[in-house]
Structure 1
């Protein structure tokens, strides 16, 4: 898994975070991304405004 700030660097108190993960099946990817969202949602100092997911497979 990898995470990085990918946008809104110039805005005060706002960050856009990108997370990427690779797995053998979509269910495992979903589990990892769910855990990332829960981690952020549980932090009182963080307000999660939105989440967007895009799954890409080797057949795309």
Structure 2
């Protein structure tokens, strides 16, 4: 019972944002590259957590 109501809420939400869903399905553009950079930056931040500030983070991002 919980799954069915969860699915119906999901589909109702998709219906409310129909323009965004259509654009996501029909346009060839995506933000995968941007998301990859964000993921890499967060990984580096976790690796150097507490060791240095923004200067080291910037250096590590520009290196790799």
Q: Normalising to structure 1: TM-score of the pair?
A: 0.32
Larger Rg: 2
Question: Counting strand residues as a fraction of each chain, which structure ranks higher?
Answer: 1
Question: Counting helix residues as a fraction of each chain, which structure ranks higher?
Answer: 2
